[in-house]
Amino acid sequence: MLRIARVSLAFAFLACASVHADDWRVDGVERVVAMADVHGAFEAMVDTLQEAGVIDEQLAWSGAATHLVIVGDILDRGPRSRDAMDLLMRLEGEALTAGGAVHVVIGNHESMNLIGDLRYVSKSEYAAFAADETEAERQRWFEAYVERYASSASGAVLFDKFEQQFPAGFFALRQAFRPDGQYGKWLLSKPAIVVVNGTAFVHGGLSPLVERYGLEGVNGRLKSELVAYVEALQILTDAEVLLPTDAHYDTQTVLNAYMPALDEKPAVLDAIATANRLFDSELFDSEGPLWYRGSVSCGELIEEHRLDGALAAIGANRVVVGHTPTPTRSVLERFDGRLIEIDTGMLNFYYKGSGNALVLEGDSVLVVNQSGLTPVPPRPHPRLVGSRPGMMSTEELQELLEQGEILTQQQDESGRIIVTVSDGRRKVSAIHAKRTSRGFYPSVAAYRLDRLLELDMVPVTVVRKVGGADGSLQFLADKRSNEMLRSASGRGVGASCSLPDQWSAMYVFDVLIYNEGRTTQRMLYDPASWRLMLIEHDRAFARKKGRPKHLKTLSLEITDGWRRALVGLTDEVLAESLSDVLDSRRLRALQQRRDELLASAPRTARR
């Protein structure tokens, strides 16, 4: 029997036409189908839903008691976003009649359209609203636009600019996404997170913010901020304090420059205050559930304890996310299946992926593809420290470095010996470090320790003789930057795994291995993601306790994740993994530093 735990809603505006759509937590569902990031790919969406047995050839609901979950980002980039929304709105009622349900979780692109951030709306999406737009409406807003900018250009220039930037359908789309509009009203009724049978569904991810607010806080307080902000924008647009043509990121500039009349309506003054206050709502933040990428982008050591904390806070045992296209364009899982990634780049012309639906039925977890391929389980999330040709797995790359043919050797400007290794089909670059003492391969030890910790920062490194010289080969990604170049350019600030988090983990790692050789040249980044790659550890693993001089006064952040990882580094595990690349004295010193870090860890670490 279906058991629905209803949550008392604190805000009347969250009421929705469908009884199921208001439910943040649902139990007893026999079958769940989930898909994410349609982005206007209507045909792929339909094919996928049909393959999942949710709709028939006439696009009518055929899923019986199935619960369909759309994990955000129906909109933007693709041509048929409106058709996708219309279908889902109709299916809500049909599913309910059949004993099933449709749950739509808002994503960052729904939020963007609601607040007027239209950077990713395609021409086709505007065109879908052109028939709804009256000439009188366009004329009204053109006149307001000219009045705003008359001093900066001639009428003819402004007309050309207006027609170019605001094509037919622009104002009808803005109208439809107002809080009283057809799609705005619908989307504002949707939660940021739903939990079905103990599985949470959220667009971006479960950040520490979710742990702090809990399910009710996110869907109540934070969602209320979105509603209040959008309602304030409507009041200000009706009063022509703001124009539909104003870009979202200009909102505060326009409001700060506005000089209200002495008899300005109180509602307008309140709306200005509300819009200014909520412009930077945590719901819009990169740490908010609509935007967060840390769950899929950070190493497990950094992220796993955060995920567990957030899951506990919302009463779930796993989470399904979209937002970040998977590198393999297939459904992936991490953290022993506690996180499943289902954004597979459905909008093929943009993301080069296909439609996939996650089907949860009993203990079965399978993926259905739009092409009717045999359903398969989610694949493990690959360890990708540095981009490599053909999306080689870690094991394939390791084998290539160990057994591939050495094609070239050359010294770079910093004195490194760079070799090219090939297996006949693929070739990669690697750093060759000569062995300096018997049985000591520090870069290999750093890599293996990284794997034990699940830090995911040290590139694949193997023992390998090159040109008769014993030593190691460490993978060197062709696409890379270093910390000196990154800091000079100011790039990487919006990294999907925040740079401070990565640096914090690096400092603890360098203390653990007593690394005296960390320089900006040995801190590399993948420019596509700004994931940190730590290379060259020839000055690590000293036979000492304590810390290297440059790290003695640094305040280390020993998180719950670090505590777990260090506890797992038992003497037996370290000996089994490292005794062939570290001598006994270095191994004992490593064990002592592990114990020192554990002793310094606060009992309420968390973070």
Listed residue (395, 300, 375, 270) closest to 330, CA to CA: 375
Which letter does DSSP use for residue 466 in this model?
Answer: B
Place 14 in a pLDDT band, splitting at 50, 70 and 90. very low
Neighbouring C-beta atoms of residue 131, cutoff 10 Å: 9
Say how far apart CA 227 and CA 126 lie, in whole Å. Answer: 23
| pLDDT higher than 50, residue 7 | no
| pLDDT higher than 80, residue 4 | no
Mean pLDDT for 222-243 is 97
State the chain's maximal CA–CA distance in angstroms. Answer: 87
Please, what is the average pLDDT of the chain?
A: 94
Count Cα neighbours of 325 within 13 Å in the Cβ-side half-sphere. Answer: 17
Contacts of 272 (CB under 8 A, 6+ apart): 232, 236, 241, 255, 258, 260
Place of tokens 């990669």: 428
Which pLDDT score is estimated for 154?
A: 87
Place 135 in a pLDDT band, splitting at 50, 70 and 90. very high
540-563 tens-digit pLDDT: 999 999 999 999 999 999 999 999
Listed residue (199, 228, 41, 61) closest to 124, CA to CA: 41
Which pLDDT score is estimated for 311?
A: 98
| Bridging pattern class, strands 339-341 and 318-321 | parallel
Would you state the structure tokens that stand for residue 391, as one six-digit string? 């999306």
Would you state the structure tokens that stand for residue 478, as one six-digit string? 């062709």
Torsion on CA atoms 416, 525, 381, 423, rounded to nearest 10: -30
Taking the complete model, does pTM exceed 0.85, yes or no?
yes
Place 1 in a pLDDT band, splitting at 50, 70 and 90. very low
156-174 tens-digit pLDDT: 999 999 999 999 999 999 9
Task: Name the strands in the sheet holding 318-321, side by side, starting at the edge strand that comes first in the sequence.
Answer: 3-5, 25-27, 193-196, 199-202, 318-321, 339-341, 332-334, 379-380
Would you state the structure tokens that stand for residue 347, as one six-digit string? 């909008």
| Bridging pattern class, strands 461-463 and 427-434 | unpaired
435-463 tens-digit pLDDT: 989 999 999 999 999 999 999 999 999 99
Say how far apart CA 442 and CA 331 lie, in whole Å. Answer: 36
- Residue 25, helix vs strand vs coil: strand
The 10 Å CB-count burial string (b at 16+, else e) for 302-329 is bbbbbbbbbbebbebebbbbbbbbbebb
Mean pLDDT for 388-408 is 94
512-533 tens-digit pLDDT: 999 999 999 999 999 999 999 9
The 10 Å CB-count burial string (b at 16+, else e) for 522-548 is bbbbbbebbbbbbbbbbbbbbeeeebb
Mean pLDDT for 316-328 is 97
Place 155 in a pLDDT band, splitting at 50, 70 and 90. confident
Listed residue (559, 555, 557) closest to 567, CA to CA: 559
Say how far apart CA 306 and CA 302 lie, in whole Å. Answer: 8
Say how far apart CA 426 and CA 144 lie, in whole Å. Answer: 59
* Residue 479 zone, left/alpha/beta (φ > 0; ψ -120 to 50; rest): beta
Torsion on CA atoms 438, 439, 445, 448, rounded to nearest 10: 160
| pLDDT higher than 80, residue 494 | yes
| pLDDT higher than 70, residue 334 | yes
Residues of the chain with pLDDT > 70, as a percent, come to 96
Say how far apart CA 327 and CA 331 lie, in whole Å. Answer: 10
Contacts of 364 (CB under 8 A, 6+ apart): none
Say how far apart CA 54 and CA 45 lie, in whole Å. Answer: 11
Residues of the chain with pLDDT > 90, as a percent, come to 91
- Residue 565, helix vs strand vs coil: helix
Which amino acid belongs to residue 343? D
Which pLDDT score is estimated for 68?
A: 98
Mean pLDDT for 84-110 is 98
Place 231 in a pLDDT band, splitting at 50, 70 and 90. very high
Mean pLDDT for 303-310 is 96
